[in-house]
Structure 1
Amino acid sequence: MSFIYLDNNATTQLDSAVLEAMLPYLKDLYGNPSSMQHRLGREAHKAVETARQRVAQAIGAKEQEIYFNSGATEGINTVLRGVAQSYATKGKHIITCKTEHKAVLTTCELLERQGMEITYLDVNNNGELSLDQLKNAIRPDTILVCLMSANNETGVLHPISDIAHICQERDVLYFCDVTQSIGKHPLHVQQLPVDLLVFSAHKLHGPKGTGVLYIRRRTAKPIQIPPLISGGKQENNLRGGTLNVPNIVGCGQALANIETKPQIKALRDMLEKQIISRVPETFVNGQIEKRLDNTSNITFRHLKSTEIMTALPDIALSSGSACVSGLSDPSHVLKAMGLSNEDAHSSIRFSLSKYTTEQDVADVVQQIEQVVTRLREASPIWKLFKDGLIP
C-alpha cells in the first residue's frame, strides 16, 4: 500500500498550479515589492497586488481590506492583542469558546494576566455552542467576540451568520478564524457582517508561512488595530517587514483555484460508516449535519490513538490539532464536548482533501480494522472490558 495522507486539517499538498505560479518569484522575479524604483521591484509589487485582488474577489472583500501576514496564528495575535489595546477605554471583556484553536486560547490567557476578562462559552456534546448563551454573555463592556467558523478537530460548524448579526445588533466587533472552512464552505463577507477574519494559505493547497487578515472598512467607527510587528510601512502600516512575494502569489493562486468537490463528503461518510460497522466500540465525535465535509473524528475505545497511529506508518493521521499533537494532555476540544480523558486519548482525526480517492478510504478502513483488532487482542484493558469488569 502506498502512503495515504489523511491529515489535511494540519496542512495540505501544494497544488501544482500554485507551485507553478510561485516559481518565477523564487528565481527570476526576486525583487523587493517596496523597491519601486526599478523593474524587478515593480514586478514584485504588481504580483502582490494581483494576489490581493484574487483574495478579495474570492471572499467578496475590497482589496484595501486584505492584509498579508505569516498565517492565522499571527493574525489571531494581531487582532486579539490589538483590539485589547485599542478598545481598552470602552471595555476589557472578550468572549470566545472553550473549543477555539490554541492560538486563541493561549493569547486570551495572556490577555487575562494583563487585566482583560475573558468569557469562555461552553459547547454541548456535539460541539455546538448556544446562541442564547452568547447573547447573555455580551455586556456593555464587551469589545470583541472571537468564534471560529469550523473546528479544526471535529469539523463542527458554528452558525457564524447568526453570530455576526448578534454582534452587529449589540455593537460588538466579531472576529472569526476561518482557517479550516476557507475553500470548503461558502464565504462572502458582503453577505456576512463579520468585522475581522483570518486564515492560512497552507490549509487550501497553498504554501506554508503566509496568511490573510481581513479588516472590514467602515466609514462610521473605523476598526482600530495597531501593528503587532513594527517596522516599515508595508501592508498600509499594519505589518512591518519585507513581503514574502512567492508565498503571497501562491496564496492568491490557491484562492483562485478553489473548487467544490462533493465526493469528499461521500468519501468521509463511507469511511465513518465502514469503521463504525466493522470496528466495535467506536463512535464519531460531533456527528452532526453542520460540519465540514472532509473531517471525521473517531474514538476507538480502550486503545490509545498513539498506539494505533504508530502501527500505521503508511497512513498520515492525527490525534487532534497539529499545534498541540505533541502534548500528552487530552484534546481540549473533546474534553469540552464531555468526553472522558480515556476516550479523548483514544480519538483520531481523519481529514480528507480533493486528492483523496475511494481506494484510499477502502485501504485505510481495512488497515484500521486489522490494527485495532490486533492491538485489542493483546490489550489487558480490552480483556477487562470484554469480561465486563470495566465500562
Structure 2
Amino acid sequence: MKLGKLLQAQVGFPKYINAKLKRLRGRIAIVGTRTAAEALLRAIDLGGINFLGIYEVDPDYKPGHELLGHKVKPLTNLARLKPTDTIVIASSQEAEVLYETIHQIENISRAKVIHFKSLMDVYMLHDELHDLLKFDFGEFLFWDGLFLEKNWHPLPPKVSFKNKIVLELGPYEGNQTVMLARQNPAKIIAIESRPINYAKTSLIRSMYNFQNFELILGDMHLFPQLVKDKIDIIFCSGVLYHSSKPWWLLENCLKHADTVVVSGHVSSAESTHAMGFQTIELESGSYEFEIQPEFGWEDNRSGVATTSLWFKEEDLIRFAKYYGFNFKKYDSTVNKTGLWISAVLKRIKKRR
C-alpha cells in the first residue's frame, strides 16, 4: 500500500487518524520523521491528543531538529514513558521490515508499541473496498456513524430497543443497523436479499463489532420461514415501498410482532415517478396503490420486481387498524422522489 496514494485519496485523512488516536485513551509518542510522521502530526495538531513528542530512531539524529514545529527528541528519551503510554512507529513499511526498530524501542521503553498501519484499518478497508463493493453511503459508514456516532434517520420516540429481539428488513449497507445496534438490543436479525448488500453489511458488522447479530440472505417477504426467534420489534425502513406486494409484507409484520416501525415513501401528490394506480381487494378492504418503477437486480438500491406499489398514508392507518394496531407518525419529509413518512405501529388488541 502506497501511503502517498492514501494521503491523496481522501481529504478527511487527518481527522480520521485523530479520531483513532483518541480511542487509544492515553498519552501518545511518535517515532520517525518521514511522511507517516507528518501525517500523524497533522492529525495530532487537530487537538484533543495528549502528545508527548516525536522521537528519532536514526543514528544520525541531530539535536534541535524540528518537524512541522515539533522538536525531535532522541530515542533514548522514550525510557521516561509509562506503560500506559502508546508509541506509534511512523512508517508505512511492513512490520517485518521494522523488526529491529520495534525491538530497539521495546528494550528502551515499557510503553505499548503499535504500527502506524494499525491506525488505518478502517481507512484501508474504505480505500480498497469502497469502489469494489460500490458503497453508496461510505462517508456515513466509515466516518459519521463510526466516529461521530450519528444516526442515519431519527429513532422512533418512546420505543425502547433495549434487551429486545429486533428484526431488520433490508439492511442494505448496514447504515441503519449501526443505529439499532447502539440501542443495546438482545439481538438483531437482519434479512437481505441481495448478495452484494449482504457482503457490505457483513463488512460493516465486523468493522463495528456488532454483538448478537444474525445476518440472513433471503427474501424479506418470507421472514416467518427464515427466522426462528420470537420477534419483539420489526424495523421495516426503506423497504415496504420497494415491494410489489406491500400488503403481504406488512401483514406478515403485524402478525409476528407487537411493535413495527415503518419508514418509507407513500403515495401522494409529491410523487415524481408515479406510473398510475392499481386497485387491490384485500381481506381488510379495497386499496388504491400508486404504481412506481423498480429496476430489478440491475440496481442494488431497487426492489427486485419491475414495479412496486405504494400505500397511501390513510390506507396504512386503515390497514394497521384492521389488524389491531395503533398508527403513530413521528417524522415526515418530502424528498426528490416524494413524501417519506416514519411511523410506529403498536398492537392494541388481538387480530380479529
Same fold (TM over 0.5): no
Question: Normalization by structure 2: what TM-score?
Answer: 0.27
By percentage of residues, which structure has more strand? 2
Q: Which has the higher contact order (CA 8 A, sep 6+)?
A: 1
